Structure formats: C-alpha cells, structure tokens
Structure 1
Amino acid sequence: MAMTGVLRPGHGAIRVLDLEEAVHHYRDILGMVETGRDAQGRVYLKCWDERDHNSVVLRQADRAGLDFFGFKVRDKATLDKMEADLKAYGLKTERIPAGEMLATGERVRFELPSGHLIELYAEKKAVGNGLQVTNPAPWTKASENGIAPVRLDHCLLYGPNIAEVQKIFTEVLGFYLVERVLAPDNETNAAIWMSCSHKVHDIAFVEHPEPGKLHHLSFLLDSWEEVLRASDIMSMNGVPIDIGPTRHGITRGCTIYAFDPSGNRFETFMGGYQPYPDYEPTTWTFDGLGAGGGLDYPQRKLHETFLTVVT
C-alpha cells in the first residue's frame, strides 16, 4: 500500500521513578541503544534496527506513565495539512519547536478525549542502524545486546471516550479499524486496534474511566524463538513478567508482557497478520476476550493484572 500521511509510530516518552535504573533496564536488558541526553535530563534510546535517532525518551518523575506518544508523517507539507485538519475537526493544537527534543524537528501536539497527548512530526535525524547502505550484513553487534527488539511497534492506551478517539484517528489521521472488543452491551466498543499501515495495529485503546493511562509500549521481535529468548533474559535479570510467553487471539500476536523498574508495562511481540484498509474489522465479544481466547489463546482466560494495572 502507498505510504502517505502518517507513516509509523515514532516515539514514546515515558516517566520513570529512577532514571539510571530505567536506563539500565531499557539499554542493558531490553537492549536498546542510548543515543543521547539533553539539558532537561531526558535520555534517548532507539532499537538497533531503527534508522531514526530515538524511539523512547525517559524522564525522571514522581509518578510513572506516559508523557506523550508521537507518529512520524510523510513530510512537512503533510504535517501542515494534518494540523489544519485537526483544527478543522475542532481540536486545539500546539507547535513545539524543532530541537526541543534531541535530533527532532517541529512537532504538532494535541490532546485526545482519552486524555493522552499525541504528537505528529516530519523530521528526525537519521542515524542509521549500524549497517552499510550497500550490500549490508543482516545484523550488527548491537543486535546481540539484551533482548534487542528491532523497533518500537505500537502502544496500548487506557482512557475514556474511545468512540471519539476512533473518529479522530480514522476520519482525520487516516487510520483504519482492524479489530475491536465489544462492551457487555454488545453495541459499544470496549477496546479498539487501529493501523496506519498494513501492520495488525499501530495503536490501540481500551475504554477506562481514568484519563491518560499507559497500558504498554510494544517492541517487535523477529520470531517466536526470540520471544522465548526474551523470557529467559527477563527471568535471568529479575524482570517481573505479567503474562506469557503466549499467543493472543486478538491480532494473532505472540507475546510477553512485563514491567520496567518503575511499573510501566512493556511488551516483546512478534507475528500478527497483515491487514489492508478494505478488510472488514474483526469483532470479539466481551466474553470472547477471555473464554474465546482473545487475550490468551492457549489458556483462554483473563488475567486480572492485564485488565487493571496501568500507569
């Protein structure tokens, strides 16, 4: 499919309780590459196979959670048009100047009805993945450090008014609905998975009374064997595991959910099918989330912590 408009998830900025402890987790255990620190004390990291300067930004704070989540758009003209479209829809936008984040151009920020801050940007310094552009090798030494995911894949956010959130993403930003879980009334959506590409999802939301909550950031691995290896590395390093290794019915993804030292959940993920915008969305009933295997297909059960623990 033609890649226009929003290209992909670009960065997640998360709050941590102890910065150096978090850096150790994301750099040495998860296996990301530290790419810089700024005057505000924020630490920037990228996955080894990502070309852009950063995809995770860590900031020390007195409570964990998500500051904002950003998407990269095709070019500056696209950024200008999308800001105009957001304003026409009735959303207030803020222009954040280039350089406020390291190696990142001008950003357009807006708040969703769910209480989350979303950003769009067109420019970020390309630092490459450590491989030559011509006749490259398939991996680098950085890909052997820790779990070593290849990219930031998606995020799941909890908050209210996800019906309106869905409209903003589909009618303004050009996403499409891939899967949904119905609420017990079998009419409204309790959860939605949306894509701007032909990935099974680039962002997801669950209806939740508290605004602005982070459920998880997800990092892509290449194979089920790498997911199993990730579980070994987590166990060796005392990383608290929430669920997995297992397989979702929803998205068909293979997964482990675990917590960073501040209590922010993260996912190591692989698989999922490749949808297209003309596909009919897959619907799960609320009962299907548990007994139907939507969350945990092998065990066909719900996990209380997965449904209730957010930051």
Structure 2
Amino acid sequence: MAMTGVLRPGHAQVRVLDLEASIKFYRDVLGLVETGRDAQGRVYFKCWDERDHSSYVIREADSAGIDFFGFKVLDKATLDRLEADLRAYGLATTRIPAGEMLETGERVRFQLPSGHLIELYAEKTAVGNGLGTTNPAPWGASREHGIAPIRLDHGLLYGPNIAEVQKIFVDVLGFYLVERVLTEDGQTSAAVWLSCSHKVHDIAFAEYPEPGKLHHCSFLMESWESVLRAGDIMSMNKVAVDIGPTRHGITRGCTIYAWDPSGNRFETFMGGYHPYPDYEPLTWTFDNFGQGLDYPQRKLHETFLTVVT
C-alpha cells in the first residue's frame, strides 16, 4: 500500500524511577543502542535495525509511565496538513520546535480524549544501522548484544473514551481498525487495534478509567526463536516476566510481556498477519478475550487488565 501520511511509530518517551539502573537495563539487557543524552537529562536509544536517531527515550521522574508517543509522517507538507485536519476536527495542537528532542525536527503535539499525548513529526536525523546502504550485510554486532529487537513496533495505551480516540485515528490520521474486543454487553469496544500500514497494529487502546496510562511499548523480534532467546536473557538477568512466551489470538503475534526496573511493561513481539485497509476488522467477544490474549492457555491474565503505569 502507498504510505503517504503517517508512516510508522517513531518514538516513545517513558518515565523511569532510577535513570542509571534503567540505562543499564535498556542498553545491556534489552540491547538497545544508546544514541545520545541531552541537557534535560533524557537518554536516547534506538533498536539495532532502525535508521533514525532514536525511538525510545527515558527520563528520571517520581512516577513511571509514558510522557508521549510519536509517529513519523511522510514530509513537512503532510505534517502541516495533518495539523490543520486535527484543528478542524476540534483538537488543540502545539508546535514543539526542532531540536527540543535531539536530532528531531518540529513536532505537532495534541492530547487524546484518553489523556495521552500524541506527536507527529516529519524529520529525524538518519544515523543508519551500521551496515551501510550499498551491499550491506544482513546484520552487525549490535544484533548480538542483549535481546536486540529490530524496532519499536507499537504501543498499547489505557485510558477512557477509546471510541472517540478511534475516530480521531481513523477519520483524521488515516489509520484503520484491524481488530477489536467487545465489552461484556457486546455494545462497545473494550480495546481496539489500529494500523497506519500493513502491520497488524501500530497503536492499540484499551478502555480504562484513569487517563494517560501506559500498558506497554512493544519491540519487534525477528523470529519465534528470538522471542524464546529473549526469555532466556530475561531469566538470566532476573527480569520480572508478566506473560509468556505465548501466542496471541488477537494479531496472531508471539510474545513475552515483562517489566523494566521501574515497572513499565514492555513486550518482545514477532509475527502477526498482514492486513490491508479493505479487510473487514476482526471481532473478539469479551468471553473469549482470554483466548485472544493467550491462545494456548485461553487465559485472561489479571495483570493484563489492571497493571499499568
């Protein structure tokens, strides 16, 4: 499909309780590549196969959670158009100047009815993946350090009013609904999975009474074997694991959920099918949500519904 608007998830900024412990975790256990530190005390990371400067940013704070989630758009003209569309829809936007984040151009920020801050941007310095662009090798040394995911894949955010959130992503930003879980009464959506590409999801939302909550940021792995290897590395480093290794019914992805030292959940994820905008969305009833979450066990893990930051 032609990608002419929102391209992909671009970055997440996450709050951590102990910066040094978190740097060690994300660099040495998760295996992200540190790409910079700024005057605000933020530390920037990328996954080994990402070409832009950074996709995951951490800062020390008194509480864990997410500050904002950002998407890269095609170009500056697209950024201007989407900002105008957001304002026409009735959402206030803020322009954040280029350079406020390292190696990142102007960003357009707005708040969702779920309480989450979302950003759009068109420019970020390309630093490459260390393999070059002519006759490149399939992988380099960074792939062998820690868990070493390929890229930031998606986020799952918890908050209220996700029906309205879905409208904003579909009607304004050009996403489409891939899957949903119905509420117990079958009348509305308890959770939605949305895509701007032909990935099975680029962002997901679940209905939750408290606004602005992070369920997890997800990192893409190359294979089921690499997910299992990630589980070995988690165990070797005494990382607290939430769910998995297992397969989702929803998305068909294979997964492990675990927590960083601050209690922020992250996911090592691979697989999933390849939807297109003309596909009919898949629907899961609430009584089968357990199978949607953990297909082999058909178990709706209590932590999945209640533990957020």
Assess same fold via TM > 0.5.
yes
Question: CA deviation digits over 1:159-217, x for unaligned, max 9?
Answer: 00000000000000000000000001111000000000000000000000000000000
Question: CA deviation digits over 1:115-169, x for unaligned, max 9?
Answer: 0000000000000000021111000001100000000000000000000000000
Residue 300 of structure 1: aligned partner:
298
Residue 135 of structure 2: aligned partner:
135
Q: How does 1:23-172 map to 2 (within 5 A)?
A: 23-172=23-172
- 1:309 aligns to 2:307 (yes or no): yes
TM-superposed deviation, 1:264: 0.1
Gaps of 5+ in 2: none
Equivalenced residues, count: 309
Question: CA deviation digits over 1:254-285, x for unaligned, max 9?
Answer: 00000000000000000000000000000000
> Which secondary structure state, in structure 1, belongs to the residue aligned with residue 293 of structure 2?
coil
> Which secondary structure state, in structure 1, belongs to the residue aligned with residue 215 of structure 2?
strand
Residue 209 of structure 1: aligned partner:
209
CA distance in 2, matches of 1:51, 1:208: 34
Partner AA of 1:221 in structure 2: M
Question: CA deviation digits over 1:78-100, x for unaligned, max 9?
Answer: 00000000000000000000000
CA distance in 1, matches of 2:22, 2:11: 17
TM-score (norm 2): 1.00
Partner AA of 1:148 in structure 2: A
Partner AA of 1:219 in structure 2: F
> Which secondary structure state, in structure 1, belongs to the residue aligned with residue 278 of structure 2?
coil
Gaps of 5+ in 1: none
CA distance in 1, matches of 2:53, 2:150: 14
Partner AA of 1:308 in structure 2: T
Residue 259 of structure 2: aligned partner:
259
TM-superposed deviation, 1:53: 0.2
CA distance in 1, matches of 2:279, 2:65: 33
Q: How does 1:200-279 map to 2 (within 5 A)?
A: 200-279=200-279
Structure 1 runs of 4+ aligned residues shifted over 2 Å read none
RMSD: 0.4
TM-score (norm 1): 0.99
Seq. identity, %: 81
Partner AA of 2:50 in structure 1: E
TM-superposed deviation, 1:306: 1.2
